[in-house]
Structure 1
Amino acid sequence: MTCVVKVTSVEITNLKNVRKGKFHTNSSFATLEKADVIGFYGQNGSGKTAAVEAFNLLKTLLSANHDAPLPKITSNLLYFNEKSIRLMFQFIIENRLGEFFVDYTVSLSPGRTKYRVVKEEVSYRENKGNTSFISLISKNDNEILIGNKKIQEMSEADRVSVMVANRMAVGNSTSFVFREELKEVFENLFEEHETELMKNISINFNSDLHVIDTIHYGLLIANLIMPFSVHLEKKRGHIPYEMQDTMVLPIDLFETIDQVVRQTNIVLQTIIPGLQIKIRQINKQTLSDGNEGVRFEFLSRKGEIELPLRSESEGTLKIISILSTLIAVYNNPNACVVIDELDAGIFEYLLGEILEVLNDNAQGQLLFTSHNLRILEVLPIRNLWFTTLNENDRYHQLRGVERLNNARDVYLRAVQLGGQAEEIYAETNLYDIKTAFRKAGIPHDN
C-alpha cells in the first residue's frame, strides 16, 4: 500500500444541533494497521447524526473533481441564528516520503440556493521533533495563498489555473483546494512531499471513505431501493438496487454487483447461517443510450429454497447492503466507514459479535451511531463517545470506568444519577409521562 491515512480528530462548530463539539479516534502512527472502531451514543436529538453529517460534508468537499455540489440550504445544516459552519479534520499520513500530521479546516455559509465554501485551509507538519504546522493552501473568499505565494506573485499559467479553479468552485458550490485544476499548480509550487499529501487526502483517502446515512436505510425500509455499498479493489461507491421483480444495469455495473455478491456471500453465511445471495441473469438488452445492459433479479437462497431477495427482513437487507464496506474495514487499513444508526434492524447479539470481531482483528476505521446498549458490553470505553446536553461541548467520554467495569452499567448510572463532567440525559419522569398519556386520551372540544 502506497500510503495509509487515518482520521485522528474532528471539531464541529454550528452544524445541526452542535454549537461546538470535538472528538478523537484512537489511531496513531504506532497503530496504523490496527482497528479503530468508534461508537456514538446519546439521547435523541443530541448530536450523534451531526458527527455523521460532518463526514458527509467532508466526502462532498473531497469530491470536488466530480463537481459534487454542497447541500442545498433547505437541508437545515446550520445551527439556528448562526452564520457559518466550521469543521476541522485532523489526519495522520504515512506514505513513501515519511510520516505527517495534516489538518483540513473549512467554513461553509448559506449561498443563494446551496452552501458555499468561504474559508478553507490545508496545513501539515512532519512527525519529527517539535516541527510547526506549515500552511499548504488557504482561501478566504477571494484571498488565496498557495504555499507562501499570493495569486499576483504566481506565473501567468499558474495564476490562470487558480482563477479558473476558484470560479469553478464558486459556480459549482464545491471545495476550492481539492479541485483538479490546481494539480499542475501544486506540482509547480510545492515540494514533492507536499504534492503527495494533497493526493493522499483528495484521492487515496477519499476513495476509501464511505458514509452511509439514514437516507440509505429509509429507502430500504420503504422497500424502494437497497443501496449496495461497494468496496472492491478498484471500485468504490453505491449501486442502487431497485426493489422490484427485475432490474437492468449496464454490463460494467452488473459485473461489479456480481463481484460484490460473491465477496459478500463468503461472510454472509457465517453471519446468517445458510443464507446466500444469488443473481439470476435473465437476458441482455439494449439500453436507451445504445449500450448493452443486463436484466437480472436477486434471489435469497436457503438450502433448496429460493425467494426474491426483497422478501428478506429489513435487518438482513441492511447487513447485505453494508457488508462490502465492513469487509473493507477488516482488510484495508485505509478504509474509513461511517454509518448512522448501525444498530437499526440488526439483532443486538449479532451486532455485538460483528463489532467485537472488527475491533479485535480489523485494520481500518469504523465510526457509527447507535442506540443499542449491547455494544457497550463488547467495546472498550476508549472507543465510545457520549453526547451531552451542553450544546457548546457535545461529545464526552465516560469517566470512572475501570478496565473491568461494564460501560453499559456506568452509562445507565450516569443517565439516572449524573456524576459525569457534563449531563448526558435530559431527565424524564415516569409519573409525568403517565399523566400526559392519560390527559391526551381525554376527549377535548374543538
Structure 2
Amino acid sequence: MDTIVRVKEVEIINLKNVKKGRFLTNTSFEQMKKADIVGFYGQNGSGKTAVVEAFSLLETLLFSQGGAELPEISENLLYSGEKMIQLTFHFLIQNEYGEFFVQYYVGLSEGEKRLYVVEEELSYRENEKKKRYKNLISKKKNDITIRNKKVTNMNEDERVVVLVANKMATGNSTSFIFNEELQDEIVVKHFGEEEWRLFENLVHEFRRDLHVIKNTQYGLLIANIVMPFSVHFENKRGQIPYEMHDMMIMPVPLFETLEQVVSQTNIVLETIIPGLQVKINRISSQKTDDGSEGIRFEFLSKRGDTELPLRSESEGILKIISVLSTLVAVYNNPNACVVIDEMDAGIFEYLLGELLQVLSRNGKGQLFFTSHNLRILEVLPVQDLWFTTLNESERYIQLKGVKKLSNARDIYLRAVQLGGQQEPLYAETNLFDIKTSFRKAGAYR
C-alpha cells in the first residue's frame, strides 16, 4: 500500500492576530487520493496569513534535523499579551500497517531572540471504533515521557540523551520531538514497528512534500530582486532563489534536475499562457565555491523567436511560473501539501479560477491558499472555503445557508453587508466617512 499523509484539521491559538481558530479539510480515508483545496477569505488583517504562518512553523519544526531555527521574536508572531502560541495539527495517515489518526501539538514561547518549544506532544490511534489516542512522546518543559515511560524512570544513558536533546532543542530553537539524536538513540528503541513507521511518515514523506510559499517571497519577486522558483520533481524538493539581475552558478546534477523541472513546467505553461515558454540559457561551465563542476546560466522567456530575460515578464506571469511546479504536484501527487499566501496576487482572475477549478476536480493533493479575489468563490465548492471573522476567538467559519447551486460569492457579499452568519465577517466601513477623511487629509498642512 502506498503511504499517504493528509492534513485533516488545524487548531491555532495566539498566533499573530488569531486568539483562537480552527478549520477542517475535506479529506477522509475514503478520499485520500482526491484533491483537497482549501481557500481562506476575509478582511485585511483578519487572520488569513496566520494560517500560512502555522504551516511555516510546522515546516521549520519538521526540518529540525537540518538545523532549521524557529523565527526571531522580532517577527511578532505571538499574540499581544499572551505567553504561548499553541498549534495542533491532525493528520490522516495510510500506510502498509493500516489507517491512523495522528495528532501533533506544539506550544511556543519567546526566548531572548527566537521562539522556542515549551510543550510538544505526538500521539496516534488506529482507525477503528473505540480506539483511544496513544501518547508517543510528550514534553512539558522538563517533564518528558516517551511511550508512557517518564524520563526519570529511564536508565542513566537514556536519561542523559533525552535531557541533552531537550536542552539542545531549547537552545537551538528547534523541535524536541523531531531532534535527530533523540530519534536515533531513543525513539527507534522505544517505538514499535508500526509507531516508528508513523513517525517516519511525518518526518520524511510529509515533510518532503510540504511546500509553504509566503508573501514575503512574493515581495522579492515584485521588487525584481529574487524569484523563488519552487521545485517539486521526483526526489528533488524545495526552492531555488533565482536572482533576477544576475546569472546563477549551479552544480551540474542540480542543473540537470532544473532542466527537467523547466521542461515539465513548460508543458503546463503553454496551455495557461499561449505562446510562452521558459528557457534556460546555458552560458558556460564554471567551478562552484566548493570546487565542484557547475553551470552558469540564466532564465529567459521565449515567445516565438523572441527571447528576453525572464524578469521582463509581468508580476502575474512570474508568480505563476514560480509556483507552477508545486501546482503540478498537487494535481498528480496525493501526498503534496502546498500552502500559498495571496495566491491571487497579480494573476488574472479568470485564469486563476480556471486553474483552481482544474485542481479541485481532477487533482490528487492538498492546496491551502489565501486570496482576496472573489471570482474563486464562483468556481470552488463552498465546503472548500473558510472565511475569517471579526471574532478573534472564533477566527474561521464556513458560510451558512449555501445550497448546492448557490453562488457563494453573492452570499459572502450579502453577509459582509447585512450579516446573517454566526460571526460578523467585516468591520463596517462608511463611504461618506472615507470621502470626508480623504478631503481632510488633502487639506492637512
TM-score, structure 1 normalization:
0.98
Residue of structure 1 in register with 2:174 after alignment: 174
Residue of structure 2 in register with 1:235 after alignment: 236
**Match of 1:27, SS?**
coil
Pairwise CA distance, 1:156: 4.0
**Match of 1:301, SS?**
strand
Matches within 5 A, 1:421-440: 421-440=422-441
Residue of structure 2 in register with 1:139 after alignment: 139
* Residues 290-339 of structure 1: per-residue CA shift (max 9 Å, x gap): 22221111111111111111111111011000000000000000000000
**In structure 2, distance between residues paired with 1:255 and 1:166:** 40
**In structure 2, distance between residues paired with 1:347 and 1:288:** 41
**In structure 2, distance between residues paired with 1:71 and 1:298:** 31
Aligned-residue Cα RMSD (Å) equals 1.1
Residue of structure 2 in register with 1:214 after alignment: 215
Residue of structure 2 in register with 1:20 after alignment: 20
Residue of structure 2 in register with 1:352 after alignment: 353
* Residues 224-253 of structure 1: per-residue CA shift (max 9 Å, x gap): 010111111101111111002522222233
> Could you tell me which amino acid in structure 2 is paired with residue 268 of structure 1?
L
**Match of 1:298, SS?**
strand
* Residues 188-222 of structure 1: per-residue CA shift (max 9 Å, x gap): 11111111111111111011000000011001000
Residue of structure 2 in register with 1:8 after alignment: 8
Matches within 5 A, 1:14-413: 14-184=14-184, 185-413=186-414
TM-score, structure 2 normalization:
0.98
Pairwise CA distance, 1:128: 0.6
**In structure 2, distance between residues paired with 1:203 and 1:171:** 24
**In structure 2, distance between residues paired with 1:16 and 1:411:** 24
Q: Where in structure 2 are there 5+ consecutive unaligned residues? A: none
> Could you tell me which amino acid in structure 2 is paired with residue 196 of structure 1?
R
Pairwise CA distance, 1:139: 0.5
> Could you tell me which amino acid in structure 1 is paired with residue 288 of structure 2?
L
**In structure 2, distance between residues paired with 1:3 and 1:268:** 30
> Could you tell me which amino acid in structure 1 is paired with residue 311 of structure 2?
R
**Structure 1, 266-275 or 254-263: larger mean CA deviation:** 254-263
Pairwise CA distance, 1:285: 1.2
**Match of 1:63, SS?**
helix
> Could you tell me which amino acid in structure 2 is paired with residue 142 of structure 1?
N
* Residues 7-33 of structure 1: per-residue CA shift (max 9 Å, x gap): 001000000000000000000001100
**In structure 2, distance between residues paired with 1:394 and 1:54:** 14
**In structure 2, distance between residues paired with 1:257 and 1:84:** 41
**In structure 1, distance between residues paired with 2:293 and 2:171:** 35
**In structure 1, distance between residues paired with 2:364 and 2:160:** 42
**When the two structures are aligned, how many residues end up with a matched partner?**
444
**Match of 1:107, SS?**
strand
> Could you tell me which amino acid in structure 2 is paired with residue 363 of structure 1?
K
Pairwise CA distance, 1:152: 2.9
**In structure 2, distance between residues paired with 1:75 and 1:61:** 17
Pairwise CA distance, 1:2: 3.6
**In structure 1, distance between residues paired with 2:158 and 2:28:** 36
> Could you tell me which amino acid in structure 2 is paired with residue 164 of structure 1?
V
**In structure 2, distance between residues paired with 1:157 and 1:238:** 40
**In structure 2, distance between residues paired with 1:80 and 1:255:** 47
**In structure 2, distance between residues paired with 1:288 and 1:348:** 43
CA 1:301–1:180 in 2, change beyond 3 Å: closer, same or farther? Answer: same
Q: Which runs of 4+ in 1 moved over 6 A?
A: none
Pairwise CA distance, 1:67: 1.1
> Could you tell me which amino acid in structure 2 is paired with residue 193 of structure 1?
E
**In structure 2, distance between residues paired with 1:436 and 1:306:** 48
> Could you tell me which amino acid in structure 2 is paired with residue 159 of structure 1?
R
**Match of 1:441, SS?**
helix
**Match of 2:162, SS?**
helix
**In structure 1, distance between residues paired with 2:7 and 2:424:** 27
Pairwise CA distance, 1:342: 0.1
Does the 8 Å CA contact 1:164/1:181 hold for their aligned counterparts? Answer: no
**Match of 2:443, SS?**
coil
* Residues 330-383 of structure 1: per-residue CA shift (max 9 Å, x gap): 000000000000000000000000000000000000000000000000000000
> Could you tell me which amino acid in structure 1 is paired with residue 63 of structure 2?
S
**Structure 1, 358-367 or 243-252: larger mean CA deviation:** 243-252
**In structure 2, distance between residues paired with 1:49 and 1:136:** 31
**In structure 1, distance between residues paired with 2:96 and 2:254:** 33
**Match of 1:125, SS?**
strand
